[in-house]
Amino acid sequence: MTDALRSLLAEPAPISAPALLGATITGRGVAIRVTEVEAYHGPTDPGSHGHRGMTERNRHLFGPPGTLYAYRSYGIHTCVNVVSGPEGTSAGSLLRGGEVVAGRDTARERRGPRPADVALARGPGNLGVALGAVLGTDDGTSVLDGSGPFVLTLAPGLEARLASAPPAAVVDDLLAETDAAGVPRISRGPRTGVGGIAGGASFPWRFWLTGDPTVSTYRRHKGAFD
């Protein structure tokens, strides 16, 4: 049943993004547990690719929730987003880091001998390589129904919680949960590499699992307000 995932992704990205932490994206011989995401929210978000309307590159960002949006970053890297709703708002969550939980040999073949295991899918460009994501081929496919190369499955236990409470309420609870020492399980902060006001405290839409070694190190953009 992917009803829980569908109802979650129907929410705006800043709401659904924290609930994608702990989810697993599977395909092309690997499975990666997502540990770090950033939300981008269409025309109201100056940091979003969709902020200035549809282009050939970003058109799949305007697609239905659960669409994969893959784009070329800095002319070099392939980065992967999961589109969220409402449909037509060009919103989505950038998968920025994860733990390779299956197909480690395949991921290492793609990444080379250098990176440590925790770094195989650390950072959006590296995650794209580890996944074996292909521009053009994968852009616009669904991660919900197995019709595309990748399938997204929710973190254990989340499906049941989303079946018994509205997504926004479940996410509020997730953000409030702490470990035995009182430390939040999910951390949030400004988005990495985003300039201007969109990269500052007004858009604290980067979410990660606190203390997880597969989360990329924060790099502040030159022009970010902070």
Partner DNA sequence: CTTTCGATATTCT
Partner DNA sequence: GAATATCGAAAGC
For DNA, the closer CB: 74 or 147: 74
For DNA, give the closer residue by CB, 56 or 177: 56
Residues 138-177, interacting with DNA (CB under 7 A): none
Cis peptide preceding 43, ω within 30 of 0: no
Residue 41's DSSP bridge partners are 91
Binding map of DNA across residues 194-223, x = CB under 7 A, - = no contact? xxx-------------------x--x-xxx
Taking alpha carbons only, the member of 85, 83, 88, 100 closest to residue 37 is 83
* Residues 25, 143 contacting (CB under 8 angstroms): yes
Q: Binder to DNA among 11, 22, 40, 190 (CB under 7 A)?
A: 40
- Taking CB under 7 A as the criterion, the residue among 123, 132, 148, 167 binding DNA is 123
Beta strand 91-102 with 77-84 is antiparallel
Q: Are strands 77-84 and 68-73 parallel, antiparallel or unpaired?
A: antiparallel
> Which are the contacts of 206, defined by CB distance < 8 A and separation ≥ 6?
36, 37, 38, 96, 188, 189, 190, 191, 192, 218
One of 124, 132, 148, 190 touching DNA (CB under 7 A):
124
Rounded to the nearest whole angstrom, what is the least distance from the CB of residue 178 to DNA in the complex?
Answer: 25
3-state SS, residue 19: helix
**Is residue 64 a contact residue for DNA (CB under 7 A)?**
no
Instruction: Write down the H helix ranges in 80-212.
Output: 104-111, 124-131, 158-164, 167-176
- Three-state DSSP at 166 gives coil
Rounded CA gap, 26 and 121, in Å?
Answer: 13
Task: Report if residue 53 touches DNA, rule: CB under 7 A.
Answer: yes
Interacting positions 66-105 with DNA (CB under 7 A): 69, 71-77, 79, 81, 92, 94
- Sole window of 120-128, 148-156, 157-165, 175-183 interacting with DNA (rule: CB under 7 A): 120-128
Which span (1-9, 65-73, 99-107, 180-188) binds DNA, by CB under 7 A? 65-73
Smallest distance from DNA to CB 52, Å? 4
Among 24, 58, 89, 141, binds DNA (CB under 7 A): 58
Q: Which is nearer to DNA, 115 or 149 (CB)?
A: 115
> How long a stretch of residues is the chain?
226
The binding site for DNA (CB under 7 A) comprises 38, 40, 47-50, 52-53, 55-58, 61, 69, 71-77, 79, 81, 92, 94, 111, 114-115, 119, 122-127, 191-196, 216, 219, 221-223
